[in-house]
Amino acid sequence: MADASLASLRRQGITAWVKGAGATSWLHWGLAKTVTHRCAQSPHPSAPEELRRAPAARDTQPPGRGPVSILVLSASVGSGHTRAADAVCEAAAPRGAAVSVTHVDALGLMSASFRRAYAGWYLALAGRHPDVWSWLYRATNDPAPESWAGRLRRRVERLHARRLLRQVVAAQPDLVLCTHFMPAELLAREVVEGRLRSPVWVAVTDFDLHRMWVHEGISGYFAANEEVAYRMRARHIPPERIHVTGIPVMQDFQRQFDRRACARRLGINPQRTTLLLMGGGAGFGTLVEVAERLIRLPGDFQLLVLAGTNGVALDGLHRLAALHPGRLFASGFTSHVASWMACADLVITKPGGLTVAESLAMGLPMIVHGAIPGQEERNADFLLEHGAALKATDGVTLEYRVRYLMDHPEALASMRRRARALGRSDSARAVLRVLIDTVT
């Protein structure tokens, strides 16, 4: 990748991780996954012609040409997509100067008006109008190939993405990894029309597959599990382009923590049953109300609460903690979520893709609530089907689930075993290995 083009991407985008020549800098806590992959791909017999055509492979790099350059594109809609991207960047650090990874928020290279509208539109619909979001999720999952709505959406996105596309095409990295479907779709067209020679890969960051992730011109896909891979094949993606790696998570989530040491750092009792209530990176849900309901339950337990970026909720939680000293502990956005999880026996959370992947990597059972219709509902279904979680549809149900698990430790232990069996803590390194193998 040309140094000037890479520097321009770093300056103009929102760069979470920049890694090269052995140096790393981390600006966001994040995780997601998408990959670029060059390999010989044979046609899938039942695939449509446009999906059977693999992008042309780039010429093999001559020895000593320099580090493999990987551009990771996320989108700051929620926090999961950036967390997955950060995980892949972190996995490259031990490779030193052999690999240069740049993580850029694609929205940071799009027009300010589009950036505000795109993120605000998602948060408003998913958080305040879930029925509308549910309808949109279903309607866009199987649209007519050339529907007027699809053509209009693509036209608007391309209009506002001119700077992003210009910068990426000028950079021509060895690989592009997308952890959000929007930049993946934009770059897939650049590949098909011959303007971008870099292979573009996609890392799906949920335990489901929506059609928006699947495009002609994508070199390969990373799937959370075998069922997602099956869905990819049903979308006529050739099997050799699909890699089941899990959703990338940071290395902290594969560490063996000392619970006592973590508890001392957080100022909590390591002997007590510990519940961890998480609001997600965007602070969805009425955290204070849920925490107040939980802390009033009988039993010898303590409650940890992570409010994400929701400052209003955090203020309310601190006031509530003052009424329950030694039992309720709250924090806002933190880059040490894994150490909080290491102290927990049960996670109560919205089922976002990255939060689920991180909890499973830690072997933590969950009670899921407040799922956004569509992808989070599918994530919850996955957990319920495999016995790693229970679902609470309202406050009363949540109370009952928590009390049941505290009264039946054998049930909680069974859920923990199932969660650990589903976890893929080495997912980020697996994604990176596939990418590197395609150009070396």
Residue 400 predicted with pLDDT over 50? yes
In a domain, 208, yes or no: yes
Residue 4 predicted with pLDDT over 70? no
Q: Return d(Cα 82, Cα 239) in angstroms, integer.
A: 27
Instruction: Judge contact between 317 and 291, C-beta under 8 A.
Output: yes
The mean-pLDDT minimum among 110-124, 264-278, 357-371, 409-423 falls in: 110-124
Instruction: Judge contact between 70 and 95, C-beta under 8 A.
Output: no
Residue 355 domain boundaries: 252-422
Segment 75-89, tens digit of pLDDT: 988 789 999 999 999
Mark whether 330 and 181 lie in a shared domain: no
Those residues with Cβ within 8 angstroms of residue 133's Cβ, 6 or more apart along the chain or in another chain: 125, 126, 372, 373, 374
Q: From residue 434, how far is each of 24, 184, 242 by CA, in Å? A: 21, 18, 11
pLDDT category, 117, cuts 50, 70, 90?
Answer: confident
In a domain, 154, yes or no: no
- 3-state SS, residue 210: coil
pLDDT reported for residue 284: 41
pLDDT reported for residue 60: 40
Instruction: Judge contact between 274 and 246, C-beta under 8 A.
Output: no
Mark whether 294 and 387 lie in a shared domain: yes
Output the CA torsion sign for 423, 425, 431, 437: negative
Mark whether 199 and 270 lie in a shared domain: no
The mean-pLDDT minimum among 57-61, 160-164, 257-261, 290-294 falls in: 57-61
Mean of all residue pLDDT scores within the chain:
83
Mark whether 191 and 209 lie in a shared domain: yes
Segment 405-432, tens digit of pLDDT: 999 999 999 999 999 999 999 999 999 9
Mean pLDDT of 266-274: 95
Residue 37 predicted with pLDDT over 60? no
Mark whether 337 and 377 lie in a shared domain: yes
In a domain, 132, yes or no: no
Residue 44 predicted with pLDDT over 50? no
In a domain, 370, yes or no: yes
Residue bearing the bigger pLDDT, 17 or 98: 98
pLDDT reported for residue 3: 53
Mean pLDDT of 25-34: 27
Mark whether 197 and 264 lie in a shared domain: no
Mean pLDDT of 322-327: 96
Mark whether 280 and 198 lie in a shared domain: no
Bridge partners of 86? none
At residue 398, what is the residue type?
L
Residue 10 predicted with pLDDT over 60? no
pLDDT category, 41, cuts 50, 70, 90?
Answer: very low
CATH assignment at residue 277: 3.40.50.2000
Q: State how many domains the chain has.
A: 2
Could you tell me which of 242, 285, 253, 252 has the C-alpha nearest to residue 376? 285
Q: Return d(Cα 367, Cα 397) in angstroms, integer.
A: 10
pLDDT reported for residue 23: 29
Residue 63 predicted with pLDDT over 90? no
pLDDT category, 5, cuts 50, 70, 90?
Answer: low
Rounded to 5°, angle at Cα 301 from 296 and 302: 85
pLDDT reported for residue 61: 44
pLDDT reported for residue 376: 93
In a domain, 404, yes or no: yes
Mark whether 302 and 397 lie in a shared domain: yes
Mark whether 259 and 242 lie in a shared domain: no
- For residue 310, the number of C-alpha atoms closer than 13 Å in the C-beta half-sphere is 23
For helices 311-323 and 287-295, angle between their N-to-C axes, nearest 10 degrees? 20
In a domain, 381, yes or no: yes
By percentage, how much of the chain surpasses pLDDT 70?
Answer: 81
Bridge partners of 173? none
pLDDT reported for residue 83: 94
Instruction: Judge contact between 33 and 205, C-beta under 8 A.
Output: yes
Mark whether 103 and 62 lie in a shared domain: yes
Mean pLDDT of 242-260: 95
pLDDT reported for residue 324: 96
Mark whether 304 and 413 lie in a shared domain: yes
Residue 20 predicted with pLDDT over 50? no
In a domain, 395, yes or no: yes
pLDDT reported for residue 40: 26
Report the number of secondary-structure helices (H) and strands (E) in the chain.
18, 14
Mean pLDDT of 298-316: 92
pLDDT reported for residue 131: 83
Those residues with Cβ within 8 angstroms of residue 149's Cβ, 6 or more apart along the chain or in another chain: 143
Give me the torsion for CA of 10, 13, 15, 19, rounded to 10°.
-30
Residue 152 predicted with pLDDT over 80? no
- 3-state SS, residue 352: coil
Residue 33 predicted with pLDDT over 80? no
pLDDT category, 153, cuts 50, 70, 90?
Answer: confident
Residue 194 predicted with pLDDT over 50? yes
pLDDT reported for residue 1: 45
pLDDT reported for residue 125: 75
In a domain, 400, yes or no: yes
Mark whether 369 and 357 lie in a shared domain: yes
Could you tell me which of 275, 243, 266 has the C-alpha nearest to residue 359? 275
